[in-house]
Structure 1
Amino acid sequence: MSVPHPNSVGEPGAATPEAEPRPSPWHGQGPVVAVVALGGGVGATARYAASLLWPAPTGGFPWAVFWVNLAGCAVIGVFMVVITDVWAAHRLVRPFFGTGVLGGFTTFSTYAVDIRRLIDADHPRTALAYLFATLLGALAAVWLAVAATRRALAWRQR
């Protein structure tokens, strides 16, 4: 058997542990989750408006989703250059705009569903064209936007 230490918690004359202060939810992930949700709502609303303005005919190429995805990819390319090379943004700007707004605006899940719908409607060539055009177009949009933004910024600094 061991002898209890005289300074153990709960013993008379023992030091009481200091209560650790609770971190404020506004300094942790709470604000990040809130701004991502808010930005996602804004982006998804803009995408939905584009789909209402430019509906895809049954079996036709989904142009609205195609252009929304390419535009969103181009904007993310510009945005990432600006917030990494030019501007020291507030910690919530990137989650709000990059993850929230642009994540809600672009819709690669609808892209996948559209491909499946085209295949189910017996339009495999349109589905393949959409599959590859979106994939290559999105990658090209990001790359071109990053390159153009960096070139514009370099030219501006001369």
Structure 2
Amino acid sequence: MNTLIVFLGAGLGGALRHGANLLAARAGSSFPFGTMAINILGSLAMGLLTGLFVVRAGVPQGWRLFLTTGILGGFTTFSTFSLEAFLLIERGAIAAAMVYVLGSVVAGIAGVGVSLAVIRHFG
């Protein structure tokens, strides 16, 4: 049942992301304003929801999954990345947070670059 809950939320989040990207595309800029706005809004929403779940401990697991893993996961995984990085910093694991942030960003960009190079070469 939890998988279905996440699935439905992710579909809604993905549709919201698509809508936000369409709105940003109307601006006609080559800068990825849509993605940046999605990442910031998703991170703000993750903070609000996580804080709410702490204050209201009785929120059912299904709702937590639907809202965070589902909707926000479909909207942007950057919100989870931001939360995890913040929690590492909050716990005093500054070095681990730096490795996580820099490693994720650098390895992610490198992964896209390597993959594109492979496809361009062999495709």
TM range (shorter): 0.5 to 0.7
Contact 1:51 1:64 in 2 (8 A): yes
1:39 to 9, 25, 37: 9
* Distance across 2 between alignment mates of 1:68 and 1:96: 18
Return the offset for 1:88: 1.1
Structure 2 residue 25 is the aligned partner of structure 1 residue 52: no
Equivalenced residue count is 82
Structure ID, larger Rg: 1
Normalising by structure 2, report the TM-score.
Answer: 0.59
* Distance across 1 between alignment mates of 2:62 and 2:53: 12
Residue 76 of structure 1 is matched in structure 2 by 46
Return the offset for 1:87: 4.1
* Code of the aligned partner of 1:73: S
Distance 1:57 1:42, change over 3 A: same
Structure 2 residue 50 is the aligned partner of structure 1 residue 91: no
User: Which consecutive aligned stretches of 4+ in structure 1 deviate over 6 angstroms post-superposition?
Assistant: none
* Code of the aligned partner of 1:53: L
Contact 1:65 1:107 in 2 (8 A): no
* Code of the aligned partner of 1:41: G
- Which is richer in helix? 2
Unaligned runs of 5+ in 2: 87-123
2:70 to 82, 100, 104: 100
Secondary structure in structure 2 of the residue aligned to 1:88:
coil
Work out which structure has the larger RCO, using CA pairs closer than 8 Å and 6 or more positions apart in sequence.
2
* Distance across 1 between alignment mates of 2:2 and 2:82: 27
Unaligned runs of 5+ in 1: 1-30, 109-137, 144-158
What is the root-mean-square deviation in Å for CA atoms of aligned residues? 2.4
Residue 34 of structure 2 is matched in structure 1 by 64
* Distance across 2 between alignment mates of 1:65 and 1:107: 11
